Amino acid sequence: MKVRPPRTDYRLAQLTEAATPAEPFALFTRWFSRILKDGGPDPHAFALATADSKGAPGVRMMLLKEWSEAGFVFATNQQSRKGRDIAATGKASMLFYWPALQRQIRIEGPIAPVSERASDEYFSERPRDAQLGAWASRQSRAIAGREVLASRLARAAKRFEGAAVERPEYWGGYRLEPRRIEFWQGRVSRLHDRILYTKRGRTWSKTRLSP
């Protein structure tokens, strides 16, 4: 079956070398602040790509918890497929896509778990039903049916009735430390602007890529 997706007219903005800072974080701040202000759908959402020890890829949507020059943080079940991939390779890639601004940001680098204390903090910020859900789900594992989840959720709710929900030992945060950050701005004629920042030692270099 052939598909004919609509052709977006990319005319909102441009990205020039002269308008980009020497390091990528100021530009990420500028773009992220803009999408938060404009109210685009799920601005914190990103696609996380990993691969297992044999190179088989996997990708899924995640939510950004926090970021700084030290890296970009999210949290998940660390026994899930992505957790096993990360344990095997120590590498991952993120993609933020903001169609309202005709922009993408790709981030690549090594990834590792955050501290237990940080994971506790992230878990405490989750709504209670999401905390209980973390106990109910053995993420990425096969189950007999949805009733299994309902039963596990009921047991978790009973276990923590009238008390704070503890963080499961298998749930925690990860921090991706960027080595490459690419900023993509849609342009006319599909001649998009792509500015790649690459980290070498403690410094960043900046390169324009062909679309």
Return the structure tokens found at 210: 């062909």
Decide if 101 is inside a domain.
yes
Decide if 60 is inside a domain.
yes
Decide if 156 is inside a domain.
no
What domain range includes position 184? 17-126+169-208
pLDDT in tens, 143-180: 999 999 999 999 999 999 999 999 999 999 999 999 99
Decide if 6 is inside a domain.
no
Q: What is the mean pLDDT of residues 1-5?
A: 89
CATH number at residue 80: 2.30.110.10
In the prediction, which pLDDT does 35 show? 96
Cα pseudo-dihedral 66, 67, 70, 74, rounded to 10: 50
| pTM for the structure as a whole | 0.94
| Mean per-residue pLDDT of the chain | 96
In the prediction, which pLDDT does 1 show? 92
Decide if 144 is inside a domain.
no
Decide if 79 is inside a domain.
yes
Indicate the pLDDT class of residue 16, thresholds 50, 70 and 90: very high
Decide if 2 is inside a domain.
no
- How many domains does one find in the chain? 1
In the prediction, which pLDDT does 6 show? 85
* Residue entry with tokens 């950050």: 181
* Residue entry with tokens 């049916």: 145
* Burial annotation 25-63 (CB, 10 A radius, 16+ → b, else e): eebbeebbebbeeeebeebeebebbbbbeeeeeeeeebe
DSSP-assigned states of every residue in the chain: -----------S----GGGS-SSHHHHHHHHHHHHHHHT-SSTTEEEEEEE-TT--EEEEEEE--EEETTEEEEEEETTSHHHHHHHHH-EEEEEEEEGGGTEEEEEEEEEEE--HHHHHHHHHTS-HHHHHHHHH--TT---S-HHHHHHHHHHHHHHTTTSPPPPPTTEEEEEE--SEEEEEE--GGG--EEEEEEEETTEEEEEE---
Q: Is 190 a catalytic residue?
A: yes
Backbone angles phi, psi at 189, to 5 degrees: 60, 20
> Rounded to an integer, what distance in angstroms lies between the CA atom of residue 93 and that of residue 20?
22
Active site residue: 60, 128, 141, 190, which one?
190
In the prediction, which pLDDT does 5 show? 85
Decide if 70 is inside a domain.
yes
pLDDT in tens, 31-80: 999 999 998 889 999 999 999 999 999 999 999 999 999 999 999 999 99
**Are 137 and 126 in contact, with CB atoms under 8 Å apart?**
no
Return the structure tokens found at 138: 């053995």
